[in-house]
Amino acid sequence: MNKTKVLAKMIDHSILHPTMTDEDLKRECEVAKKYDVASVCVKPYAVKQAVEILKGTDVLVGCVIGFPSGNSAIEVKVFETENACKNGAVEIDMVINIGKTLQGDWDYIEKEIGGVTNASHKNGAIVKVIFETDYVSNKEDIIKLCGICTKVGANYVKTSSGFGFVKGEDGKYSYTGATISNLELMKKSVGPDVKVKAAGGVRSLDGLIAVQEAGCTRCGATATISMMEDAIKRFGK
């Protein structure tokens, strides 16, 4: 597999913006199909449509759970996971309860991640756990989350939802997303069976290569077209 294809198979093409319509979903699934990326990541209601559009391709369908803020009850996240899998999702990207994490309620977090992981695995799906590192920025918390994900058998740890906007004192919102330092920390803090996904702020081919070099095997992206066109120019098809 050449460099361009390897990079394509890192990409989870994100189709998650709140304003997206069914026509947008179709268009973006066609983008994923054209470049033969790893997967599309869609909202729960869109799973069936994405599965139908991508039938006969190697592009997998993933679904977000408790998205984007992670505030749903554990039982709701588990149901949402089961429903997504029933509709054809084979990858689950869940957002943790951020407030419970920040207060150090690790029993709750283990129960939550474990519940979604078990529901995913019982239904033949893998699970990626979104830490939302713009909020959960303390290194010790990130290390603790990595330990919990390893313990309960999650398949991936993931930096961000792409929507973790932090409100400043001036009332304006800022966003960082994936950083190399956090990715490297996550990579060294998980067990050997847990992989790392970058998400948030990776918008260029060089950015994609940088997170690959930091140890990521998946990367959430909306800038898939520009990334892949640049990869084709640089490395060929």
Which residue of the set 12, 93, 134, 141 is catalytic?
A: 93
Residues in the chain: 237
* Helix residue ranges per DSSP H, 62-161: 74-86, 98-102, 106-122, 139-152
Tell me if residue 122 is catalytic: no
pLDDT digits (tens, 9 = 90+) for 142-191: 999 999 999 999 999 999 998 888 788 888 877 788 999 999 999 999 99
Q: How far apart are CA 85 and CA 159, in angstroms?
A: 23
CATH topology for 3-235?
TIM Barrel (3.20.20)
Across residues 117-124, what is the average pLDDT?
98
Compute the 3-state secondary structure of the chain and give helix, strand, coil in percent, each to the nearest 5.
45, 15, 35
Count Cβ atoms below 10 Å from residue 58 Cβ, excluding itself. Answer: 11
Tokens read off for 173:
């919102």
Asked if 93 is an active-site residue, the reply is yes
Please state, in angstroms and as integers, the Cα–Cα distance from residue 194 to each residue in 68, 82, 135, 166, following that order.
22, 22, 22, 28
Q: What is the dihedral of CA 184, 74, 44, 183, to 10 degrees?
A: 0
User: Tell me, what's the pLDDT at 165?
Assistant: 83
Cα–Cα distance between 62 and 17 in angstroms, integer?
Answer: 15
Catalytic residue among 77, 144, 158, 195: 158
Q: Is 158 annotated in the active site?
A: yes
